């Protein structure tokens, strides 16, 4: 038993384990992101509010979404063809590049802040709407280890489209489908505006 523990300790010290973690290159990702610029904007800050900003997003989440577009698990007439030819290294590089970028500061609609804050931080127990902060954190930074994306500063229009897609089943995620299906249009408008203003 002591021998096994000693071997395991030595392997860990030498960086030998069952999982080899691949890494992306910010520099390579910047070059590869040239084709992404038209939709996702300079340095990942989209100019079109219906297309997501990627600046600051967790690399793991970006890779997971590109894999979903490539496999057909997630469908989009613009993104699916873009992802089809990407290699694993391309995805890692793009993820590293976008994670390293600084998100633009956007503002929430002052008239929607109170209602949006209530839903984001407290949810609505009576209607079974879980607080967004439970997964995405109090400032919308998400949790990369759990696969929860950063949503702070995301365009309200894009976030609203995503919530409607979850509610309809167009986007597959059991937890998000359950939450979004319980939300009214007023809820969606308020919470997505609040998210847009988070930093």
Give the start-to-end residue ranges of the domains of the chain: 26-99, 110-197
Main-chain dihedrals φ then ψ at residue 185, nearest 5 degrees = -60, -35
Assess whether the region 26-99 and the region 110-197 belong to the same CATH fold: yes
Query: 26-99 maps to which CATH number?
Result: 1.10.760.10
Per-residue pLDDT tens for 28-68? 999 999 999 999 999 999 999 999 999 999 999 999 999 99
In Å, what is the CA distance from 130 to each residue of 113, 114, 126, 134? 18, 17, 10, 7
How many Å apart are CA 167 and CA 148, to the nearest integer? 18
Report the pLDDT averaged over residues 99-111.
97
- Whole-structure pTM value: 0.86
Per-residue pLDDT tens for 14-33? 443 433 457 999 999 999 99
Contact in structure between 156 and 193 (CB atoms under 8 Å): yes
Give the domain 110-197 fold. Cytochrome Bc1 Complex; Chain D, domain 2 (1.10.760)
In Å, what is the CA distance from 157 to each residue of 16, 20, 144, 163, 173? 46, 38, 23, 10, 20
Neighbours of 22 (CB within 10 A): 10
């Amino acid at each position: 038993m002591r021998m096994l523990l000693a071997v395991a300790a030595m392997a860990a010290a030498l960086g030998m384990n069952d999982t080899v973690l691949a890494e992306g290159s910010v520099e390579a990702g910047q070059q590869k992101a040239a084709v992404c610029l038209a939709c996702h904007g300079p340095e990942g800050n989209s100019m079109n509010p219906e297309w997501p900003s990627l600046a600051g997003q967790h690399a793991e989440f970006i890779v997971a979404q590109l894999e979903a577009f490539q496999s057909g698990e997630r469908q989009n007439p613009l993104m699916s063809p873009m992802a089809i030819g990407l290699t694993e290294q391309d995805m890692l590089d793009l993820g590293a590049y976008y994670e390293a970028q600084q998100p633009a500061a956007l503002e929430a609609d002052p008239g929607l802040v109170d209602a949006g804050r209530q839903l984001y931080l407290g949810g609505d127990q009576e209607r079974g709407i879980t607080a967004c902060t439970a997964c995405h954190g109090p400032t919308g930074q998400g949790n990369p280890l759990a696969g929860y994306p950063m949503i702070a500063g995301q365009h309200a229009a894009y976030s609203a489209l995503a919530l409607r897609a979850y509610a309809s089943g167009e986007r597959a995620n059991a937890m998000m489908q359950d939450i979004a299906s319980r939300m009214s249009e007023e809820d969606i408008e308020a919470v997505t505006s609040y998210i847009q203003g988070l930093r």
